[in-house]
Amino acid sequence: MAQHDIDATDIISRRSITSLISVHSAPVRDGLPDPPMKLGQDIIIEIPPTSAADDEAFVAALVEIINAAYTETEGDIFKPGYLRTSGQDIATLLRSSELAVASQHTSSGGRIPLGCISIQKLGETRAELGLFAVVAELRGNGLGRDLLEFAEQHCLSELGDSGAVVTQLNVLFPKHFEHPFKIRLQKWYMKLGYQIVRHRDFLLDYPQLAPLLTGPTEYRMLEKKLV
């Protein structure tokens, strides 16, 4: 499915999010989360403990962030009413430690989600990134880049022993009109080292979604070899 991140023209002050002060390194094992990437003001990026899947408010907040972001950036690709994900989908990813989340941690030990990216292993040296979303108020300030960096570092720590690691992601492009956001997004990924390796008709892989599309759509697979 398609991924998206920030609109590069939507710049706001970084405010509570400061420069990176520590980097994740250890992989998830035995249901334990990676050491978090700390961004300041109690905002961190981590793979939450699997118990987060049972926190209904946490799951619902992530669903809202993802669906709001995808509706905003793909609302003209899909017909009204289409939702990118569900609570069941997100809970499944959390239970399998396949979702990295940027959160603000509260003094009471709670988490307020600010963004996320899924990380799903496809093979011994390959992983797919998806469900890339950031709350509207924080788009354009670098949080999306930090999430992507965390996901890539996680892939290196999980898969690096097997050889060169490749991350891939897919970006939806309508074929019946020009989509400025998708063009900017593709340029953003390519600036960060991703290259287009395939164009494919979206309906070949997701024919069940045909009634929900506004017109012909393709997805472009982008890859990056991590070092």
Confidence of residue 14 (pLDDT cuts 50, 70, 90): very low
Q: What fold, for 37-226? A: Aminopeptidase (3.40.630)
- Apex 39 CA angle, 93 and 155, nearest 5: 40
> What pLDDT sits at residue 38?
55
Q: Report how far residue 171's alpha carbon sits from residue 196's, in angstroms, rounded to the nearest whole number.
A: 10
Question: pTM, whole model, 2 decimals?
Answer: 0.82
> What pLDDT sits at residue 227?
78
Confidence of residue 32 (pLDDT cuts 50, 70, 90): very low
CA atoms within 13 A on the CB side of 68: 15
Residue 13: pLDDT over 70: no
> What pLDDT sits at residue 42?
76
List, in order, residues 6 or more apart from 116 with CB less than 8 Å away.
Answer: 62, 65, 66, 99, 100, 101, 102, 131, 132, 133, 147
Q: Is 203 exposed, middle or buried (0-12, 13-18, 19+ CB in 10 A)?
A: middle
More confident position, 135 or 12: 135
Domain extents in the chain: 37-226
Residue 122: pLDDT over 60: yes
> What pLDDT sits at residue 160?
80
Q: Report how far residue 42's alpha carbon sits from residue 220's, in angstroms, rounded to the nearest whole number.
A: 36
Residue 6: pLDDT over 80: no
Helix (H, G, I), strand (E, B) or coil at 50: helix
Q: 164-195: per-residue pLDDT in tens?
A: 899 999 999 999 999 999 999 999 999 999 99
Residue given tokens 């793909």 in the structure block: 74
β-strand partners of 169 = 222
> What pLDDT sits at residue 36?
57
Q: Report how far residue 55's alpha carbon sits from residue 203's, in angstroms, rounded to the nearest whole number.
A: 35
Q: 134-148: per-residue pLDDT in tens?
A: 999 888 889 999 999
Q: Report how far residue 146's alpha carbon sits from residue 137's, in angstroms, rounded to the nearest whole number.
A: 16
Q: 34-86: per-residue pLDDT in tens?
A: 555 556 567 899 999 999 999 999 999 999 999 999 999 999 999 999 999 99
Confidence of residue 29 (pLDDT cuts 50, 70, 90): very low
Q: How far apart are the first and last CA of the chain?
A: 25
Q: Report how far residue 143's alpha carbon sits from residue 153's, in angstroms, rounded to the nearest whole number.
A: 15
Mean pLDDT, the chain, rounded, equals 84
More confident position, 19 or 173: 173
Q: Report how far residue 83's alpha carbon sits from residue 71's, in angstroms, rounded to the nearest whole number.
A: 7
Q: Please give the DSSP secondary-structure letter assigned to residue 115.
A: E
Mean pLDDT of 16-29: 30
